[in-house]
Amino acid sequence: MMPLLEVSGLTVLRGDHPVVSNLSFAIGPGECVGLIGPNGAGKTTLLRAALGLLPHQGRSNISDLAIGTRARHAAWMPQTREIAWPIDVEAVIALGRTPWLPRGGSLRPDDRAAVERALSHMDLAPYRRRAANQLSGGEQARVLIARALAQETPLLMADEPIAGLDPAAQIATMQVFGQIAAEGKAVVVSLHDLGLAARHCTRILMLDHGQLVADGPPAEVLTPARLAEVFALRAYYQTGPDGPIFQPLEYLR
């Protein structure tokens, strides 16, 4: 099957120092991939370089595309959540349709339908007329996730999309990601909540000091040895009748 995201030998230098070095992996349809790693591991750099937003060495199939095609292939939710003007929620989400609009044209019925789907995915319909930049931080994050969903690309990449959301919204968002992956798309999200990663991701990439240290299903990646090595954590991790349950227990240093 054709991978939706394929990087090989991806390296990003800051000065002479590699922030991520020689990363290679491919992500195909149906995968919901969690990108994990401690602060400064290079998660954001990897995602931005793969998208072609950062100068890099090595290849990324997305970065190779022409900028207009790229935006129809991959949606991106940056970690910095910026909504500069008091634009209403619906209009912010509609910005996700930008790559699909004809030159100089406005939203067509298909675009409006995509905006409605995104609104309902993130339970934002009651907010549609509110000024987006006056909502709470978590609500703004949901609006921006919906904006990325409205782009309806085969690949969705999001940098810490669930940080700052309330517990219910975190689970709801991960379920939406799982659902769009199950529809045959691919999702790559960086996140710090290893419990949610263990429960909702089909695959986990673990990054440490710019290196890919593990890649596989959650149960294979989140081993006690790696958690101790990379995160300095001891954790409880069992799969029971309620599915996989992961709970960090103590800091090991």
Partner 1 sequence: MTRLMLLLTLGVLALFSASMLIGPAPVGVGDSLRALFTDTGEPMTLVMREIRLPRAVLAVITGASLGMSGAAMQGYLRNPLAEPGLIGVSSSAALGAVIALQTGAAAAFTLALPLAALGTALIGVMLVMVLAGPRGASLTLILAGIAISALAGALLSLVLNLSPNPFATSEIVFWMMGSLADRSMVHVWLALPLSLFGWILLGSLGRGLDALTLGEDAAGALGIRLPRLRLTLVVGTACVVGAATAVAGAIGFVGLVVPHILRPFVGARPSRLVFASGLGGAALVLAADIAVRLILPDRDLKLGVVMALIGAPLFLHLIYKTRKEFA
Name which of residues 124 to 153 contact partner 1 (CB under 8 A).
Answer: 131, 144, 147, 151
- The yes or no reply on residue 12 touching partner 1 (CB under 8 A) is no
Adjacent-strand bridge partners of 244: 239
Q: What is the CA radius of gyration of the chain?
A: 18
Angstrom distances, CA of residue 139 to CA of 13, 14, 122, 127: 35, 34, 10, 9
Whose CA is closest to 96, among 76, 123, 68? 76
Adjacent-strand bridge partners of 75: 156
Name which of residues 87 to 106 contact partner 1 (CB under 8 A).
Answer: 87-88, 91-92, 95-96, 98-99, 101
User: Which stretch in 80-88, 117-125, 160-168, 171-179 sits in contact with partner 1 by CB under 8 A?
Assistant: 80-88
Whose CA is closest to 35, among 233, 214, 164, 175? 214
CA distance 114 to 99: 13
Determine the size of the site formed for partner 1 (CB under 8 A). 32
- The yes or no reply on residue 72 touching partner 1 (CB under 8 A) is yes
Adjacent-strand bridge partners of 57: 11
Q: Is 122 exposed, middle or buried (0-12, 13-18, 19+ CB in 10 A)?
A: buried
Angstrom distances, CA of residue 128 to CA of 64, 93, 151, 227: 36, 9, 17, 42
**CB-wise, 186 or 204, nearer to partner 1?**
186
Shortest gap between Cβ of 68 and partner 1 (angstroms)?
5
Residue from 78, 161, 210, 218 in contact with partner 1 (CB under 8 A)? 78
Shortest gap between Cβ of 129 and partner 1 (angstroms)?
10
- The yes or no reply on residue 74 touching partner 1 (CB under 8 A) is yes
Residue from 85, 102, 241, 243 in contact with partner 1 (CB under 8 A)? 85
Adjacent-strand bridge partners of 177: none
Displacement of CA 204 from its chain's centroid (Å): 12
Shortest gap between Cβ of 91 and partner 1 (angstroms)?
7
Residue keyed to tokens 């990439």: 205
Shortest gap between Cβ of 95 and partner 1 (angstroms)?
6
**CB-wise, 124 or 230, nearer to partner 1?**
124
Name which of residues 160 to 219 contact partner 1 (CB under 8 A).
Answer: none
- The yes or no reply on residue 56 touching partner 1 (CB under 8 A) is no
Residues at the interface with partner 1 (CB under 8 A):
48, 51, 53, 67-68, 70-72, 74-78, 80, 82-88, 91-92, 95-96, 98-99, 101, 131, 144, 147, 151
